[in-house]
Structure 1
Amino acid sequence: MKIFTNILIFLAVALILVNIYLLDFNNPFEGDSMVALIGIAASFCAVLILLIFRMSKKIEDKLKN
């Protein structure tokens, strides 16, 4: 399970980097830049959710032992 979450976190961070590349800093709220901002926010949320999931699994394993 740890390898799977690591892969998903890596993919989410890669998506953040791709969307930062697509972002137009002169007009961040127009056209494709708005889509890039939404993609950055969604990927950031995915990373947070995966980190929370990983922490909950660690807590669950400690409670079982």
Structure 2
Amino acid sequence: MKIFIYILIALAAGLIIFNATKLDFDHLFEGDSMVAVISVLAGACAILLLVILQVSQVIQKKSKRRRS
């Protein structure tokens, strides 16, 4: 599961980088640039959720060790 999460984080980072190249800072909220902004935000949210999942798994493992 840990490797799968790292792969998804790498894919989301790639999505952010790719869409960051599509941004037109002069007209940020028009046309293709708006789609790129939304995609960058979606990639950032995906990374945030995956990091939260990783932290929760670490906490779960530590709490199981304490119970034993």
* TM-score when normalising by structure 1: 0.97
Divergent runs of 4+, >2 A: none
Shift of 1:24: 0.9
- Structure 2 CA distance, aligned partners of 1:39 and 1:57? 27
Is 2:35 aligned against 1:35?
Answer: yes
Q: Map 1:21-60 to 2 at 5 A.
A: 21-60=21-60
Larger of the two Rg values belongs to structure:
2
Unaligned segments of structure 2, at least 5 residues: none
Unaligned segments of structure 1, at least 5 residues: none
Instruction: Give identity over the alignment, percent.
Output: 52
**How many pairs align?**
65
Is 2:62 aligned against 1:62?
Answer: yes
